[in-house]
Amino acid sequence: MARDTATNEQLQANIDFACSHGVDCSLIQPGGSCYNPNTLIDHASYVMNAYYHSHGRIEEACSFNHSSWFVFKDPRIVAKVVDRTKTMDDVYGAFYDFSCMIEKKVDKNDPNAMKTLKQLGTIKKLCRENGDLQNRKSYVNDESKSKALLIAMLVLLLAILLFAYLKHQLV
């Protein structure tokens, strides 16, 4: 996965290297199945990943002069989170984001689900209390904040309607 901090020259050099060493780069050409998104960083990420897989999946096939990340799952999200984690606020934000993502995956039927959810809630609370999460771009939506705001708005709307109804009844 190409780093966000890699220069265009590094990315192009990585593409040229991988394409000249066995990677089928026709897929990132116009009309190819991996052409879109048509950005240098996405094309570089594709060919670097293909090179890594076609050359034995060893660490040496993944370095690209330190212009790449080694990732296991969705490389774009993981690389962005790691690349943008530079301060302690960023660390709290990364843990908060990860906890939100994992929380959604907890099987409520699992016997340890409640314990796991409680621990994730504790992590999120610590991150909110100790880090300035507003200064960092989040990669997940915190549905609890959205739900709380929606509930508050509904209560306010109901109060206004009730007030209007009672006022109309008194007249």
Q: Are 135 and 89 in contact (CB under 8 A)?
A: yes
Q: Both 88 and 99 in a single domain?
A: yes
For residue range 16-36, list pLDDT tens digits in order: 999 999 999 998 999 988 888
Confidence band, pLDDT 50/70/90 cuts, at residue 110? confident
Q: Both 99 and 157 in a single domain?
A: no
For residue range 70-82, list pLDDT tens digits in order: 555 555 666 666 6
In the chain, the number of structural domains is 3
Q: Which of 39, 62, 77 is the last residue of a domain?
A: 77
- Is residue 2 assigned to a domain? no
Question: Whole-angstrom Cα distance, residue 35 to residue 146?
Answer: 36
- Joined together, the tokens standing for residue 112 give 């340890």
Q: Both 68 and 103 in a single domain?
A: no
DSSP secondary-structure letter at 98? Answer: H
Give the domain extent around 91. 84-140
- Is residue 170 assigned to a domain? yes
Cα dihedral 91, 94, 97, 101 in deg (nearest 10): -130
- Joined together, the tokens standing for residue 162 give 């009730």
At 148, give phi and psi (nearest 5°): -60, -40
Q: Both 70 and 14 in a single domain?
A: yes
Q: Both 125 and 89 in a single domain?
A: yes
Q: Both 34 and 46 in a single domain?
A: yes
Q: Both 55 and 99 in a single domain?
A: no
Q: Both 63 and 12 in a single domain?
A: yes
Place of tokens 């991988």: 18
Residue 154, pLDDT score: 79
